[in-house]
Structure 1
Amino acid sequence: MHKSKQISSVQNTLVKKILLLKEKSRERKKTGLFIVEGQREIQLALKGGYHFDTVLFQPELIDFKETLSLFESSSSTPDYIEISKEVYQKLAYRQTTEGILAIAQSKPTLLSELKLGKKDPLILVAEAPEKPGNIGALLRTADAANLDAVLIANPKTDLYNPNIIRSSVGCVFTNNIAMGSSTEVIDFLKAQNINIYCAALSASETYTETDFKPGSAIVVGTEADGLSEEWLNSSKQNIIIPMQGEIDSMNVSVSAAILIFEAKRQRNFK
């Protein structure tokens, strides 16, 4: 029979450790742990095969029975801790979640461990993304299109940043994600015979003229700097979305969505 412990003080040692996980990338990397907040996010993480160590719940918002039901089909056997309203307000990243947060173990994001299930995969590559909101939006798009993988080259932000989890609405757990340097990602794609298509303003053809049916990687850079020369020199073809207004670019997640769903259209959304 499951039993829960109780924590009522914000000065509790575990509370202080969780605050470090919430606020410090270095602590997340050192411990291999991170915070998942909210029922939907926890359910997606469980579906993604993540293992949970600790579950904290605020009984005025979610009772113990309901908390247990979230984990009934999971192989995780976490500690369950009832926390006071004061502790929950201290730990919660957003006040609109349903009174539950949990500590999960991170997964490796090595390219060497990435499994591609299809012969001609469709992959999104983001070079040096820094803003958690943009990363989260890219992951939502990748999930919506059911991409085979998302590769982050030269990452500037750790994957389990609470802002990324929040802005991706849990899609950080549903995507097949790997990270590496640009050189490592390019070498990986070439070894897999995957065509590289870079979103760029120069030496580009309109994206609708590109054949995305073979194995393809759509590569996007930051709005401020675009893609590095290393990527542009490795591209099979640079591609562009024609702009008809006064500006020459869009938000990176919007651009990626347009390119990805053109590729999906060509593949009959398979």
Structure 2
Amino acid sequence: MNKEISSTQNAMVKYMLQLQEKSRSRKKDGKCILEGFRELTLALDGNYTIDTLLFYPEICSHERVQELLKNTKNSPECIEISKDVYQKIAYRGSTEGILAIVETKEHSLETITFHNKKPLILVAEAPEKPGNIGALLRTADAANVDAVFIANPKTDLYNPNIVRSSVGCVFTTQIAMGSSAEIISFLQKKEIAIYCAALTASENYHVQDFKNATAIVVGTEAIGLSSEWLENSTQNIIIPMQGKIDSMNVSVAAAILIFEAKRQRNFT
């Protein structure tokens, strides 16, 4: 661990900033930036590969770096960085003195495997706000769903704001992205019932049977689900509202629906 970077003009620093700021660069190179021990540990648990690890020794000791690296399958390059470099590339204040360049994964439907014969899947159509996507992924992790599908994605999954708002849960659950048509076809071929959160032709969510293979589908707060989903729904479902408005935050609604399914399954 004798390599050091002290200048903010270093090519590695510029490259990391580019990965942070540009979705095009992340997709082109298949890499993203991770910060903090929790996120890196979760990524390693999810079989992600660390290419390069950087640490600021005033905050993160050599011993902590070595402890983390015990869980790596490869031998990533380790670089000691100065305070100026650390402050330049750290995206948030609680980075704990450690950052890494990590290889991203492919998130096609073909990568999904179910170990549960009656999987529970959360589907989100066209979510845009990183905070909402992060919250959906946290819900998926908390409920230990079998997969999360993002239909017609509008945002890069490895956007730093998604990684941060998901508190690393982007690495803990199977995630696939595709068009609505592709995901609907996948679910139908697997004989997975489709329950769409919608205001029209709906029944109360708590009277449904979610114990068999189930996909719970949520749309955006602004426009809800597209007709493509509603036309292929096994049953539209609704959360009864008792106030003045007819909708709630998409991540809150998803949590209510997912945990009802888990309750019916006795949280197995």
TM-score > 0.5, shorter chain as reference: yes
Aligned residue pairs total 268
Mapped partners of 1:150, 1:255: distance in 2: 15
3-state DSSP of counterpart to 1:197:
strand
- State the match for 2:256 in structure 1: 258
1:13 aligns to what? Answer: 11
Structure 2 residue matching 1:56: 3-state secondary structure: strand
Residue 231 of structure 2: aligned partner: 233
CA contact (8 A) 2:50 2:72 kept: no
Aligned amino acid, residue 6 of structure 2: S
Alignment partner of 2:61 out of 37, 60, 63: 63
Counterpart position of 2:74: 76
1:121 aligned residue: 119
Name the residue aligned to 2:131.
133
- Hey, what does 1:175 align to over in structure 2? 173
1:214 aligned to which of 208, 212, 215:
212
2:243 is matched with: 245
The structural deviation recorded for 1:118 is: 1.1
- Report the CA distance between 1:68 and its aligned residue: 1.5
C-alpha offsets along residues 202-231 of structure 1, whole Å, 9 cap, x if unaligned? 110000011101100000000111000000
User: Cα deviations across residues 67-104 of structure 1 (Å, max 9, x unaligned)?
Assistant: 12111122021100011111111101101220101010
Q: Structure 2 length as normaliser, TM-score?
A: 0.99
In 1, Cα distance between equivalents of 2:153 and 2:66: 36
Is 1:89 aligned with 2:87?
A: yes
Select which of 190, 201, 223 maps to 2:221: 223
Contact 1:4 1:79 in 2 (8 A): no
Deviation string 1:17-74 (CA, Å, 9 cap, x unpaired) is 0000000000000000001111100000000000010000001101122112111122
Counterpart of 2:126, as a letter, is A
Q: Which amino acid aligns with 1:35?
A: I
* In 2: Cα distance, 1:202 partner to 1:105 partner: 42
Where in structure 1 are there 5+ consecutive unaligned residues? none
1:175-211 deviation line (CA, Å, top 9, x unaligned): 1100100000000000100000000011100000111
Three-state SS of the structure 2 residue aligned to 1:107 is: coil
Q: Distance in 2 between matches of 1:71 and 1:8?
A: 23
- 2-side partners of 1:166 and 1:84: how far apart? 23
Deviations 1:7-26 (A, max 9, x none): 00010001000000000000
Match status 1:39 vs 2:53: no
Partner of 1:106: 104
Query: Following TM superposition, by how much is the alpha carbon of 1:4 offset from its aligned partner in structure 2, in angstroms?
Result: 3.4
TM-score of the aligned structures, taking structure 1 as reference length: 0.98
What RMSD, in angstroms, separates the aligned Cα atoms of the two structures?
0.6
Q: Structure 1 residues 49-58 or 67-76, which shifts more?
A: 67-76
Distance 1:4 1:107 in 2: 30
Q: Is the 8 A contact 1:120 1:216 kept in 2?
A: yes
Structure 2 regions of 5+ residues with no counterpart? none
Tell me how far apart the structure 1 counterparts of residues 171 and 75 of structure 2 sit (CA, whole Å): 19
Letter in 1 for 2:124: A
Q: Does 1:4 align with 2:10?
A: no
Contact conserved, 1:124 with 1:151, CA < 8 A, in 2? yes
